Amino acid sequence: MFSRAYRAVVTVPPLLWVTVFLLIPYALMFCYSFWMVSTSQTIVHSWSLANYRQLLTVDVYWQTLLRSMWIAARVMLFSLLLGYPLAYFLSFYAGAKKDLFYQLVIIPLWVSYLVRAYAWKTILGSDGVLNTLLQYVHLTKHPLEFLLYSPFAVVLTLTHIYTPFTFLPIYASLEHIPRNLVEASSDLGASPAQTFWRVIFPLSIPGVLAGATFAFVLSLGDFLAPLLLGGPSGIMISNIVVSLFGAAYNWPLGAAISLCMLVLVVSLLFVSERLEKKWSFS
C-alpha cells in the first residue's frame, strides 16, 4: 500500500542519524579501547590489548565492577520487594482508587533525579534531618555516621529512584491477567496463597523481569549518586570511568571499561528478553 518513495522518505533520515550518532560513536568507543595515551598526554592511534590486560590485572578495576554489580543487585532486590506488593495491592485491592494511586506512584518520577538524590543527602547527613530528629527525640546522643557517604546511602537512594520504574511493568502485567482466571482458581478450591503463587505470580513474571532488568542496568551505570552520597567506600565503576575521562586523562582505558559495561548490559538484555519470551503466555 505504501510506495517505495514513501518508505525511503521515512527510512533514510532516521537510518542516517542513527548511523552517525549511535553506530559510529559505539564503533569509536570500540576503537578507542585499543588505543593508548602517550607520555606527552596525547592519544596515539596504535592498536594493542594493553588496556584490557590492565583491566584484568589491576585489582581495583574488577573489584569496583563487582562492587557495582553487588550494589545494583541490592537495588534491584529492594525495588522488587517494595514495588511488587505495591503493584499487587493496587491491581487487586485498590478498587476505584486504582488510577489515583497509580498517579501517586508516577509523580515522584517528575522530581529531578539529581534533586531527589540531593534530598536524601540532606536527610542522611550528620547534621541532616534524620540525625537531628533522632537526637531531638533522644534516641541517639551523637549523629550516626554510617548513614551518609556509604554504600548504604547509595543503595537507599537508588532504590528510591528505581522503585517506581520497577513497579510500572509489574503493575501492567498484573493488570493484563484475566480476572476470571483468578476466580476460576478460587472456585476450584485453591487458597488465596495458592492462587497467588500458582496463577498470578507466574503470569506476572515478564513484568518482574522487565522491572528488575531496568533497575539493575541503570543502577549499575550510575555515577551521580555515588559521587554525591557514596564516599570512598561507595565508589562505583562509572566513577572510575568519569575520572579516567577527566583528571586522570586516560580515555582509551575509560573506553575499554565503558565497552565492557556496554557488552554486559546488552547480554543482560538478551538474557532477560529470552526469559520473558519463555514466560509469556499470550
Residues with Cβ within 8 Å of residue 150, at least 6 apart in sequence: 230, 231, 233, 234
Contact between 231 and other proteins (CB under 8 A)? no
Give every CB contact of residue 211 below 8 A, 6+ residues apart in sequence: 79, 80, 83, 165, 166, 167, 168, 169, 170
Copy the grid coordinates of residue 234: 561507595
Q: How far apart are alpha carbons 13 and 259 in whole angstroms?
A: 27
> Exposed e or buried b for every residue in 6-31, given b needs 16+ CB within 10 A?
eeeeeeeeeeeeeeeeeeeeeeebee
With contacts defined by CB under 8 A, name the span among 53-61, 95-103, 197-205 that binds other proteins.
95-103
Does 47 engage in binding with other proteins (CB under 8 A)? no
Which among 53-61, 80-88, 197-205 is the span making contact with other proteins, rule CB under 8 A? Answer: 80-88
DSSP conformational letter for 3? -
CB nearer to other proteins: give 29 or 248.
29
Q: Which is nearer to other proteins, 102 or 201 (CB)?
A: 102
Looking at 37, 119, 144, 199, which residue binds other proteins (CB under 8 A)? Answer: 119
Q: Does 193 bind other proteins (CB under 8 A)?
A: yes
| Residue 247 in contact with other proteins, rule: CB under 8 A | no
Q: What are the residues whose beta carbons fall under 8 Å from the beta carbon of 59, sequence distance 6 or more? A: none
The residues in 131-190 that bind other proteins, with binding defined as CB under 8 A, are 132-133, 136, 160, 163-165, 168-169, 171-172, 175, 186-187, 189
Is 93 an interacting residue with respect to other proteins (CB under 8 A)? yes
Q: Which is nearer to other proteins, 57 or 224 (CB)?
A: 224
Choose which of 55, 125, 149, 256 interacts with other proteins (CB under 8 A): 125
Residues 194-223 that bind other proteins (CB under 8 A): 195, 206-207, 209-211, 213-214, 217-218, 220-223
Choosing from 58, 66, 129, 181, the residue that interacts with other proteins (CB under 8 A) is: 129
CB atoms within 10 A of CB 205: 17
263 touching other proteins, by CB under 8 A: no
95 lies in the binding site for other proteins (CB under 8 A): no
3 binds other proteins (CB under 8 A): yes
Asked if residue 88 binds other proteins (CB under 8 A), the reply is yes
Q: Which of 37, 54, 73, 116 binds other proteins (CB under 8 A)?
A: 116
Instruction: Based on the shown chain and the rule CB under 8 A, indicate whether residue 5 belongs to the binding site for other proteins.
Output: yes
- What is the rounded CA–CA span in Å between residue 265 and residue 65? 13
Say how far apart CA 135 and CA 245 lie, in whole Å: 42
Q: Are 54 and 61 in contact (CB under 8 A)?
A: yes
How many residues in the shown chain lie near other proteins by CB under 8 A?
109
Residue (211 or 234) nearer to other proteins, CB: 211
Contact with other proteins (CB under 8 A) among 50, 177, 205, 265:
265
CA 195, CA 16: separation in Å to the nearest integer?
51
Q: Is-contact 153 117, C-beta < 8 A?
A: no
